[in-house]
Amino acid sequence: MRIIMGAAQGCIWPTLFRLNSFWVPAQERTVLFSFPRTGPSIGTIISMIIGGLFCSINLNNYVPFLFRYGWSYFYYALGVPGIIWSIAWYILSSDAPETNKFMSKKEKDYIQMCKNDECLQDKKTKTPWLSIFRSKAFWATMIGQFFTDCGGYALWNVVPEYMNEVLFFPIKQNGIYSALPHLVKAAVVFATSRLADQIINKNWLKRANTRKMFQLIGTLSVAVCLLMISTLDCQRRYLAVILLIVGVGISGHGVNIADYSGIHSAIVFGLVNTVSHGALLTALFCFVASIAGFGIPYLTSYITRDKTYAQWRIAFILYACCYLISGLSFALLAKGETQPWAKNTDDNKK
């Protein structure tokens, strides 16, 4: 079941980047893309809080075994809204603004005008594979996202375990405290996305420099917080929670792929995501298990096999190094404008 879920979910993010290239004007890109980017954080907040509550429920012998324990209701609570959302998405969504039945002509004309200014290629343009692999911008996001995901997956998967084994929080508090960093992250993404667009639109900084600045702030801050956490034990557990909130809350990977790859953003994101999310299932499905996703938690479980404070310290230093590499590589290689291989030129149409 987990493999099937991964195969289905593997298509979501590339699709969002593709839709972004047709739907979102460049001057509003950061703000509008912040909504789907905060979705995982908000979902994590809800699931961590209610998960801890559900797992503490035990109805004993009053109901059949399938419905006896709270964790089973937790799956229903997450699955049913997903089904409802899927139906709404199927009815309301469309591939491009011009084919959408639920928006005004004025809004369609505005989006089309903005896209004409960006000089993006049309949908029938062939994918310039060699140009993509030669692009510094591509390798900036490839390296940056891989190491961000290495640290991010570790924090998403092992923070509850760390709270239990090192900080000794009970299960209900564990769920709440584990969710707090993601709550702050969602709020920070909304605030900084508007700030980033304002900096770009007012020409205070170029788009590339704006992306580099926010990425460096995000990755270096979480690296510092993780290094500080590695020195703390259960005697200062609330300070460790505060550092987790600050570090995870400020961290994040930008919307840079959409800046430089145009209509090829789905392909570029798929390639990037393949490295950080990728073991090939079949040619019909995309890459579903993650090098970072399964590698880092597995490595963490090996490092912390004896559940000691010293072993957890090594793990957090490893996570900090991942964020440090991500930030520095992005700062050196990233680009902020549409690359020549993604622009509407005669050579690219052939």
For residues 138 and 268, the answer to whether their CB atoms sit within 8 Å is: yes
* Max avg pLDDT among 181-185, 190-194, 206-210, 305-309: 206-210
Rounded CA separation 40/9 (Å): 12
Assigned architecture for domain 11-118+134-349: Up-down Bundle (1.20)
For residues 132 and 264, the answer to whether their CB atoms sit within 8 Å is: yes
- What does the pLDDT average to over 34-47? 77
Structure tokens of 98? 């011009």
Banded model confidence at residue 1, pLDDT cuts 50, 70, 90: confident
pLDDT of amino acid 282: 30
pLDDT of amino acid 285: 32
pLDDT of amino acid 68: 57
Banded model confidence at residue 347, pLDDT cuts 50, 70, 90: very low
Tell me: pLDDT of 288 over 60. Answer: no
pLDDT of amino acid 289: 35
Banded model confidence at residue 43, pLDDT cuts 50, 70, 90: confident
pLDDT of amino acid 281: 32
- What does the pLDDT average to over 226-240? 80
Rounded CA separation 212/333 (Å): 9
For 87-130, the DSSP string reads HHHHHH--SSGGG-SSS-HHHHHHHHHHHHHHTB--TTPPP-HH
- Dump pLDDT digits (tens) for 290-335: 455 566 777 777 888 887 878 888 888 888 898 899 899 999 999 8
| Residue 25, Cβ density class (10 Å: 0-12 exposed, 13-18 middle, ≥19 buried) | middle
- Please tell me which residue, 60 or 131, carries the higher pLDDT value: 131
- Dump pLDDT digits (tens) for 55-84: 666 666 565 555 556 667 778 888 888 899
pLDDT above 90 covers what percent of the chain? 6
Banded model confidence at residue 112, pLDDT cuts 50, 70, 90: confident
**With left for phi above 0 and alpha for psi between -120 and 50, is residue 58 left, alpha or beta?**
beta
Q: Which residues contact 136 (CB under 8 A, 6 or more apart)?
A: 333, 334, 335
* Max avg pLDDT among 52-56, 105-109, 170-174: 105-109
Place of tokens 């005008």: 113
- What does the pLDDT average to over 109-134? 78
pLDDT of amino acid 87: 94
Tell me: pLDDT of 286 over 60. Answer: no
- What does the pLDDT average to over 265-275? 78
Task: Supply the pTM of this predicted model.
Answer: 0.74
- Please tell me which residue, 166 or 64, carries the higher pLDDT value: 166
Tell me: pLDDT of 262 over 70. Answer: yes
Rounded CA separation 247/181 (Å): 8
